[in-house]
């Protein structure tokens, strides 16, 4: 009799992966932080409910806009690196928000999340099974947590959007693997970018990497055009979808921000209308860059002038 082939589907692999414990619970959200009058606001920040007008910008940047995006992208990278250097076990995510807010406005920039569609804080902090858009609150980071810090800043009329998943203390082996392979999947996606390539090539590369490592790909949240608008019309799924066959062209600016899961990628939403969590309570990680498509590939805009980013600097656990 032939030996029965052992099948390792993602679902089978997930059965051996524990649910993140204890579950993340909503904490207290501090009052809204002030932005100095001299700081230029994005249009939604002064509109009712922070609702942006329907996307209307071109997917392609002018040379002047691209220059601004290089400077604003570098600032986003610097703020994210500084935030990562600041984070310690025992710190609340509200303290992370205060740090990001103060660092951003000190650089003469507006923290894009603040007031965006009513989002109450200046950065997103997504812990453990929180997929994205976690609202900073009174919860303290504890050793073993993983936390995504998603920084977006607005200066010179354009946004720069970048995030990293940091490990706190001693993360378990599953979390380490999740974080490392989610980071790798972002760079696989970036590697698929070039003028003439299809948007769907990005998701195909990310999904391939995720599935090779038995990780789930979240479908409800996708990469997006970014520039003069925080979220413009361009959509960048992190899974393969042949309907996104449109070609990329030189000068298009957008994010790639895969969210991968140890278990099922199904999404549930907290009552706050923002916090997206995995339905099965297993952990998830995310990494994000803002890019411009070039003839030969992609230029990463969310790096410092020295070419650094938090993804490369914080591959090991902190504090």
Q: Radius of gyration (Cα) for the chain, nearest Å?
A: 19
Q: Cβ 161 to ligand MF3, closest distance in Å?
A: 5
List CB contacts of 83: < 8 A, sequence separation 6 or more: 96, 99, 100, 103, 123, 149, 151
Give per-residue burial for 79-101: e unless 16+ CB within 10 Å, then b.
Answer: bbbebbebbebebbbbbbbbbbb
Q: Cβ 269 to Co ion, closest distance in Å?
A: 18
In the complex, residue closest to ligand MF3 by CB: 113
Under the binding rule (CB under 5 A), the answer on residue 161 touching Co ion is yes
Q: Cβ 138 to ligand MF3, closest distance in Å?
A: 18
Q: Cβ 311 to ligand MF3, closest distance in Å?
A: 15
Query: Which CB, 182 or 214, lies closer to ligand MF3?
Result: 182
Q: Count CB atoms within 10 A of the CB of residue 291.
A: 26
Query: Which CB, 161 or 280, lies closer to Co ion?
Result: 161
Residues 190-229 that bind Co ion (CB under 5 A): none
Query: Which CB, 117 or 140, lies closer to ligand MF3?
Result: 117
**Angstrom distances, CA of residue 238 to CA of 20, 31, 96, 104, 205:** 24, 34, 28, 29, 8
**Could you tell me which residues are beta bridge partners of residue 284?**
261
Query: Which CB, 224 or 244, lies closer to ligand MF3?
Result: 224
Partner in contact with 116, chosen from ligand MF3, Co ion, none, beta carbon below 5 to 8 Å by kind: ligand MF3
Q: Count CB atoms within 10 A of the CB of residue 136.
A: 25
Partner in contact with 129, chosen from Co ion, ligand MF3, none, beta carbon below 5 to 8 Å by kind: none
Q: Count CB atoms within 10 A of the CB of residue 317.
A: 19
Residues 231-290 that bind Co ion (CB under 5 A): 255, 257, 288
Sort 196 into a burial class: Cβ within 10 Å, 0-12 / 13-18 / 19+: exposed
Query: Which CB, 78 or 257, lies closer to ligand MF3?
Result: 257
Q: Count CB atoms within 10 A of the CB of residue 30.
A: 16
Partner in contact with 99, chosen from ligand MF3, Co ion, none, beta carbon below 5 to 8 Å by kind: none
Partner in contact with 119, chosen from ligand MF3, Co ion, none, beta carbon below 5 to 8 Å by kind: ligand MF3
Distance (Å, whole) CA 11 – CA 82: 38
Distance (Å, whole) CA 75 – CA 72: 5
| DSSP sequence for 74-141 | HHHHHHHHHHHHH--TT-BHHHHHHHHHHHHHHTT-EETTTTGGG--SSSEEEETTEEE-PPP-SPBP
Q: What are the φ and ψ backbone dihedral angles of 137, each rounded to 5 degrees?
A: -150, -160
Partner in contact with 280, chosen from ligand MF3, Co ion, none, beta carbon below 5 to 8 Å by kind: none
Interaction mask 102-141, Co ion, x per CB under 5 A: ----------------------------------------
Query: Which CB, 134 or 317, lies closer to ligand MF3?
Result: 134
Q: Cβ 231 to ligand MF3, closest distance in Å?
A: 6
Interacting residue ranges for ligand MF3, rule: CB under 6 A:
113, 116-117, 119, 124, 133, 150, 152, 161, 224, 255, 257, 274, 288
Please give the helix or strand (H or E) that residue 285 lies within, else none.
Answer: strand 284-286
Q: Cβ 152 to ligand MF3, closest distance in Å?
A: 5
Query: Which CB, 163 or 278, lies closer to ligand MF3?
Result: 163
Interacting residue with Co ion among 78, 97, 137, 150 (CB under 5 A): 150
User: Interface residues with Co ion (CB under 5 A)?
Assistant: 150, 161, 163, 255, 257, 288
């Amino acid at each position: 009799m032939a030996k029965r082939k052992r099948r390792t589907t993602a679902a089978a692999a997930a059965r051996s992966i524990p649910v993140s414990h204890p579950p993340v619970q909503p904490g207290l959200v501090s009052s809204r932080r002030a932005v100095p009058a001299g700081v230029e606001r994005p249009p939604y920040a002064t509109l009712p409910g922070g609702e942006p007008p329907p996307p209307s910008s071109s997917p392609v940047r002018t040379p002047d806009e691209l220059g601004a995006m290089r400077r604003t992208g570098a600032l986003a990278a610097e703020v994210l690196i500084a935030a990562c250097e600041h984070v310690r076990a025992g710190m609340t995510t509200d303290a992370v928000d205060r740090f990001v807010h103060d660092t951003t406005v000190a650089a003469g920039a507006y923290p894009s999340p603040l007031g965006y569609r009513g989002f109450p804080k200046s950065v997103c902090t997504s812990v453990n099974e929180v997929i994205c858009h976690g609202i900073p609150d009174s919860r303290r980071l504890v050793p073993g947590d993983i936390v995504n810090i998603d920084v977006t800043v607005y200066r010179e009329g354009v946004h720069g959007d970048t995030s990293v998943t940091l490990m706190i203390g001693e993360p378990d082996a599953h979390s380490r693997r999740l974080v490392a392979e989610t980071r790798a999947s972002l760079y696989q996606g970036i590697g698929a970018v070039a003028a003439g390539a299809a948007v769907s090539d990005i998701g195909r590369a990310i999904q391939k990497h995720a599935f090779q490592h038995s990780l789930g790909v979240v479908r409800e949240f996708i990469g997006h055009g970014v520039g003069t608008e925080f979220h413009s019309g361009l959509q960048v799924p992190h899974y393969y979808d042949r309907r996104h066959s449109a070609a990329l062209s030189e000068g298009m600016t957008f994010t790639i921000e895969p969210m991968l899961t140890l278990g099922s990628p199904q999404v549930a939403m907290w009552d706050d209308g923002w916090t997206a969590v995995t339905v099965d309570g297993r952990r998830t990680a995310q990494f994000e860059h803002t890019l411009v498509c070039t003839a030969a590939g992609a230029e990463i805009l969310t790096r410092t002038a020295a070419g650094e980013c938090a993804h490369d600097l914080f591959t090991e656990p902190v504090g």
